[in-house]
Amino acid sequence: MCGTAVHSVHVYDGLSSLVGRLCGIAGSALKIGNTVLIVARPEVRDGLVYELSETGIDVRDHAREDRFCMYDAGAMLAQFMIEGRPDPDLFTKCIGSALEQARKASKSKDGGLTVFGEMVALLWAEGNRTGALELERLWNKALSQNIFHLHCGYPRSFLADQTPDAQAVFAAHTHVLKDDEADSFRSRINA
């Protein structure tokens, strides 16, 4: 497997912006043969399926090939959170298994995998910033062991306060996309 691990974050203003950006990332990944793994809230999953279908991507066909997999973010979190903190061993077991299964279905020459995770934003919304930052670190560890593209999303209001925690979110990512910088980000990802 070759390539570089990418851990991007989209700081978005609304659900439609998040789904639109995610549609571009997932659609591009599917077109080149990568597997796409989505861990999100129901409204994000539903919106993404609709948008991908509107762009002509046969989501059901990719799902039948195990190249498009979706999980509920809250249910996935419940599998590895203990007393408000992500347990590293349970995370590795839960997420590692999902990543391994998804990678096997990839049709791209390098076994490409694109993942969207919304679990960190759910923890942040609950006021569990410590848990969210610990989860970001676990994701980065997974990226260092398996090269893939991990994309996260946080509402802009979550990170507007410029606290050390908000700055730590930006530091945990290799690429930061804000809604007003979408064209710049698209050109860096496609380069």
Question: Residues 24-44: pLDDT tens digits?
Answer: 999 999 999 999 999 999 999
Note whether residue 1 is domain-resident.
no
pLDDT score recorded for residue 180: 66
Q: What percent of the chain has pLDDT over 70?
A: 92
Per-residue pLDDT, averaged over 15-24, amounts to 95
Note whether residue 159 is domain-resident.
yes
The total of structural domains in the chain comes to 1
Note whether residue 93 is domain-resident.
yes
Query: Chain-wide mean pLDDT for the chain?
Result: 89
Q: Measured between alpha carbons, how far is residue 63 from residues 30, 35, 49, 152 in Å?
A: 11, 10, 11, 21
Note whether residue 86 is domain-resident.
yes
Is the confidence at residue 1, as pLDDT, over 50? Answer: no
Note whether residue 85 is domain-resident.
yes
Q: What residue ranges in the chain does DSSP mark as E strands?
A: 6-12, 35-40, 68-72, 81-82, 85-86, 113-117, 149-155, 175-178
pLDDT band at 177 (very low <50, low <70, confident <90, very high): confident
Is the confidence at residue 186, as pLDDT, over 50? Answer: no
pLDDT score recorded for residue 119: 97
Note whether residue 30 is domain-resident.
yes
Domain membership of residue 108 as a residue range? 6-189
Q: Measured between alpha carbons, how far is residue 7 from residues 81, 150, 190 in Å?
A: 22, 5, 15
CATH of the domain at 181: 3.40.50.300
Predicted model pTM: 0.88
Dist. CA 79–CA 166, nearest whole Å: 26
